[in-house]
Amino acid sequence: AATLGAAAAGGNRYFGTAAASGRLGDSTYATVLDREFTMITPENEMKWDTVEPARGSFNFGPGDSIVNHAAAHGQRMRGHTLVWHSQLPGWVGSIGDAATLRGVLDNHITQEMSHYKGKIYAWDVVNEAFADDGSGRHRPSVFQNLLGDGFIEQAFRTARNVDPAAKLCYNDYSIEDWSAAKTQGVYSMVKDFKSRGVPIDCVGFQSHFGSGGAPASFRTTLANFAALGVDVQLTELDIAQAAPAAYAGAVQACLDVARCTGITVWGIRDSDSWRTGENPLLFDNNGNKKAAYTSVLNALNNA
């Protein structure tokens, strides 16, 4: 196949990208987006600070523009993200009691998922809730501090009730190396959720890698999570300097695991990336294919 999306589809996978609503009018950008990608994640438009900047006041315009684009071009959507400690408006952080926060959390998930019901393949229900410090524990946040560990379970249970057809994912970074304490912390949570019937369908491995690419254990990590009974996905792939071998290795880890259902890169052109100056994506600033593009396409076609 001649495009990333078509090549991935040969293995019943999707190949997606993050997209920004403000760039959809850029014809170079839109041309590559619609030629290559079969799944779209809004880079910022479905985050809490955009969607509910003031309590009970919802703004779906930016997200809608991406959803409408995807519908017009036959692309599916990953929803990103319902509950995250970052890009959280100040009014949420100022809530001082658990009962109020619990209600606000439920309402936010309910309103956002209801608005997009039937239009989202998978939601990142909770994003980046684990600490980086090697403790394997949750990171401090207003959610953690007021509601304790149970806030994640509450979010998933609420989400399932609102849109039973959407896949519900936990998404995080630095959980690709099997030996990392953070990986083990997330693994324990997913195992516990599955054993107690807490609704979780997938785990997103962000896959923001340095120039060496994925850790050697990445395939093992994906396979071990999949064995718990969840789909796994690479949700925000980018690699400093985009070495072709590093990209091919990261993609191959997914291709080697049957329940790895798709790969999303975190932007189209290097100039679209949040990693300024690292040239971590598959297309150059002019929208031309880089060497890493070819290595990824070949890996997908050879799967």
Which residue's entry shows tokens 């679209």? Answer: 272
Task: Measure the CA angle with vertex 151, ends 146 and 157; round to 5°.
Answer: 150
Nearer to ligand G3I, 130 or 255 (CB): 130
Our answer to whether residue 236 is catalytic in this structure is yes
Least Å distance, CB 219 to ligand G3I, is 22
Closest CA to 5 of 78, 80, 76, 81: 76
Which of 43, 52, 153, 236 is flagged as catalytic? 236
210 counts as binding ligand G3I under rule CB under 6 A: no
Instruction: Kindly determine how many residues on this chain lie close enough to bind ligand G3I according to the rule CB under 6 A.
Output: 9
First to last CA, the chain: 12
Task: Report in angstroms how near the CB of residue 78 gets to ligand G3I at its nearest.
Answer: 11
Contacts of 227 (CB under 8 A, 6+ apart): none
- Pick the closer one to ligand G3I by CB: 141 or 295: 141
Q: Assign 47 to helix, strand or coil.
A: coil
* Tally of CB atoms within 10 A around 157: 17
When the beta carbons of 87 and 135 are compared against ligand G3I, the nearer one is 87
Considering the candidates 43, 45, 128, 153, report the single residue annotated as catalytic: 128
Query: Are the C-beta atoms of residues 254 and 223 closer than 8 Å to each other?
Result: no
Closest approach of Cβ 265 to ligand G3I, in Å? Answer: 12
Where does residue 234 rank: exposed (0-12), middle (13-18), buried (19+ CB within 10 A)? buried
| Helical segments of 74-149, H only | 90-93, 98-115, 142-147
Q: How many CB atoms lie within 10 A of CB 289?
A: 15
Binding mask 5-44 for ligand G3I (x = CB under 6 A): --------------------------------------xx
Coil, helix or strand at residue 115: helix
Closest separation in Å from C-beta 124 to ligand G3I: 8
Residue nearest to ligand G3I (CB): 274
Using omega within 30 degrees of 0 as the cis cutoff, is the peptide bond preceding 81 cis? yes
Out of 206, 207, 252, 279, point to the residue binding ligand G3I (CB under 6 A).
Answer: 206
Site for ligand G3I in 65-124 (CB under 6 A): 86-87
Q: Which of 52, 236, 270, 272 binds ligand G3I (CB under 6 A)?
A: 236
Instruction: State which of positions 239-278 bind ligand G3I (CB under 6 A).
Output: 274
Angle at 76 between CA 266 and CA 186, to 5 degrees: 55
Site string for ligand G3I, 155-174 (x = CB under 6 A): ------------------x-
Residues marked as catalytic: 128, 236
Catalog residues that contact ligand G3I under the rule CB under 6 A: 43-44, 86-87, 127, 173, 206, 236, 274
